[in-house]
């Protein structure tokens, strides 16, 4: 799939519990406005450049229709599509995600240009009003974020470099030290279940 490389610290301790409520509170939602996303990133020491760079992970992956269907059929309660969404993309998405509940779990590529390639097509999509998630397209509503998006759309090496830097910063958030957590014997299980 391509993409950048970055160093990952080894020997980190893993937590032994998970908290769904905290995850849903602290992680950005596809429905969050840009200010909320920036605030969530800022709360853990990340800045707007990190928001824009890490959003580029959406160059690979899928989203369920319920995360963007409101943009196709009833944007902000108007009964109309999002006027900022590219009309040909909207038409294509309406076929993949018809306005019925049973389509809510249908999947669609976050980046329909190069679904399985880690590249800068995601940013080119945003410049062309073809971001799938409203939270992604919102990057173009802020002049500073839009400037970064445009740079990444033209200079993939800049995106790759900033993405790697932001991933390294992300990996240093909430590091567990001392006697807290554990070093896992098997990655997918806490040691008491191994």
Which DSSP helix (H) or strand (E) runs through 107? strand 107-109
| 111 known member of a binding site | yes
Q: In sequence order, what DSSP letters do the residues of 86-136 get, joined into one string?
A: -HHHHHHHHHHS-SSGGGTT-EEESSSSSTT--SSHHHHHHHTT--SSHHH
Contacts of 28 (CB under 8 A, 6+ apart): 36, 37, 40, 41, 135
Which DSSP helix (H) or strand (E) runs through 64? strand 62-64
| 59 known member of a binding site | yes
| 162 known member of a binding site | no
Phi and psi at residue 154, to the nearest 5°: -95, -25
Structure token digits, residue 61:
């992956």
Please answer whether residues 59 and 111 qualify as being in contact, where contact means their C-beta atoms are separated by less than 8 angstroms.
yes
DSSP at 154? H
| 136 known member of a binding site | no
DSSP at 22? H
Tell me the binding residues for Ca(2+): 59, 111, 119
Tell me the binding residues: 28, 58-59, 111, 119
Tell me the binding residues for substrate: 28
């Amino acid at each position: 799939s391509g993409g950048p490389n970055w160093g990952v610290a080894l020997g980190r301790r893993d937590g032994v519990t998970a908290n769904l409520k905290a995850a849903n509170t602290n992680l950005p939602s596809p429905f969050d406005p840009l200010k909320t996303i920036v605030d969530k990133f800022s709360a853990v020491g990340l800045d707007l450049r990190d928001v824009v760079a890490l959003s580029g992970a959406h160059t690979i992956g899928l989203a369920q229709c319920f995360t963007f269907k409101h943009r196709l059929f009833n944007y902000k309660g108007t009964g109309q599509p999002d006027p900022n969404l590219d009309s040909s993309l909207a038409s294509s998405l309406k076929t993949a995600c018809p306005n019925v509940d049973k389509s809510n779990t249908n999947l669609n590529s976050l980046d329909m240009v190069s679904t399985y390639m880690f590249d800068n097509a995601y940013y080119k999509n945003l410049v062309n009003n073809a971001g799938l998630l409203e939270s992604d397209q919102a990057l173009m509503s802020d002049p500073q974020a839009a400037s970064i998006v445009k740079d990444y759309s033209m200079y993939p090496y800049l995106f790759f470099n900033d993405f790697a830097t932001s991933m390294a910063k992300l990996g240093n958030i909430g590091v567990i030290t001392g006697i807290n957590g554990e070093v896992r014997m098997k990655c997918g299980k806490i040691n008491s279940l191994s």
